[in-house]
Structure 1
Amino acid sequence: MASDLRRPLVGLLLAVLALTLLTTAPAAPAGARVADGVDDVVGLPRGTDADYQLGGADATPRHVGIVARDRTARPAAGRYNICYVNGFQTQPNEKRFWRERWDLVLKRGGKPVVDANWGEWLLDLRTPAKRQRLAAIVGRWTAGCARDGFDAVEYDNLDSFTRSRGLLDRADALAFARLLVERAHDVGLAVAQKNLAGYDGTRIGFDFAVAESCAQWDECGAYVADFGRDVVMVEYRAADFREACRGYGRTHPVVLRDLALRPSYTPRFC
Structure 2
Amino acid sequence: MHSLPGRISRATAAAALLVGSSACALGTAGTAESAPLPSAQVRDIPLPAPHAGFDYQIGGPYAPPPGVQVVSRDHSAPAEAGLYNICYVNAFQAQPDAENEWGDLVLRDADGNVVKDPDWNEALLDLRTADKRGRIADKVGVWIDECAGKGYQAVEPDNYDSFTRSQDLLSAQNAQDLVKLLSAHAHGKGLAIAQKNTSELASSRAANGLDFAVAEECGEQDNCAEYTQYFGNHVIVIEYTEAGLRNACAKWGNTLSVVRRDRDVTPKGDSAYVRETC
Q: TM-score, normalised by structure 2?
A: 0.83
Equivalent residue runs for 1:118-133 within 5 Å:
118-133=120-135
- Residue pair 2:13, 2:83 contacting (<8 A) in 1 also: no
Flag as ranges the 4+ runs of structure 1 deviating above 6 A: none
* Alpha-carbon distance, 1:139 to partner: 0.6
For residue 250 of structure 2, what is the aligned residue in structure 1?
246
With 53-62 and 245-254 compared, the bigger mean Cα shift is at 53-62
Equivalent residue runs for 1:1-270 within 5 Å:
29-34=15-20, 35-39=40-44, 41-98=45-102, 102-108=103-109, 109-199=111-201, 200=203, 201-264=205-268, 265-270=273-278
Q: Distance in 2 between matches of 1:154 and 1:137?
A: 15
Q: Distance in 1 between matches of 2:141 and 2:126?
A: 16
Q: Distance in 2 between matches of 1:29 and 1:87?
A: 30
Q: Could you tell me the percent identity over the aligned residues?
A: 46
Task: Please state whether the residue corresponding to 2:177 is helix, strand or coil.
Answer: helix
Q: Distance in 1 between matches of 2:15 and 2:238?
A: 22
Q: Distance in 1 between matches of 2:211 and 2:219?
A: 21
Task: Please state whether the residue corresponding to 1:211 is helix, strand or coil.
Answer: strand
* Alpha-carbon distance, 1:47 to partner: 4.1
* Alpha-carbon distance, 1:251 to partner: 0.7
The structure that has the greater radius of gyration is 1
In the comparison of the two structures, how many residue pairs are matched?
A: 241
- Residue pair 1:30, 1:46 contacting (<8 A) in 2 also: no
Q: Distance in 2 between matches of 1:97 and 1:123?
A: 11
* Alpha-carbon distance, 1:32 to partner: 2.1
1:76–1:27 distance in 2 versus 1, CA, 3 Å: closer
1:111–1:63 distance in 2 versus 1, CA, 3 Å: same
Root mean square deviation of aligned Cα? 1.5
1:118–1:63 distance in 2 versus 1, CA, 3 Å: same
1:68–1:197 distance in 2 versus 1, CA, 3 Å: same
For residue 27 of structure 2, what is the aligned residue in structure 1?
none
Q: Which amino acid in 2 is paired with 1:48?
A: A
- Residue pair 1:29, 1:45 contacting (<8 A) in 2 also: no
* Alpha-carbon distance, 1:115 to partner: 0.2
- Residue pair 2:14, 2:82 contacting (<8 A) in 1 also: no
Gaps of 5+ in 2: 1-11, 21-39
Q: Which amino acid in 2 is paired with 1:49?
A: G
* Alpha-carbon distance, 1:144 to partner: 0.6
- Residue pair 2:160, 2:196 contacting (<8 A) in 1 also: yes
* Alpha-carbon distance, 1:31 to partner: 4.7
* Alpha-carbon distance, 1:266 to partner: 4.1
Gaps of 5+ in 1: 1-25
Q: Which amino acid in 2 is paired with 1:205?
A: G
Q: TM-score, normalised by structure 1?
A: 0.86
1:27–1:135 distance in 2 versus 1, CA, 3 Å: closer
Q: Distance in 1 between matches of 2:16 and 2:183?
A: 24
Q: Which amino acid in 2 is paired with 1:72?
A: S
Q: Distance in 1 between matches of 2:258 and 2:178?
A: 29
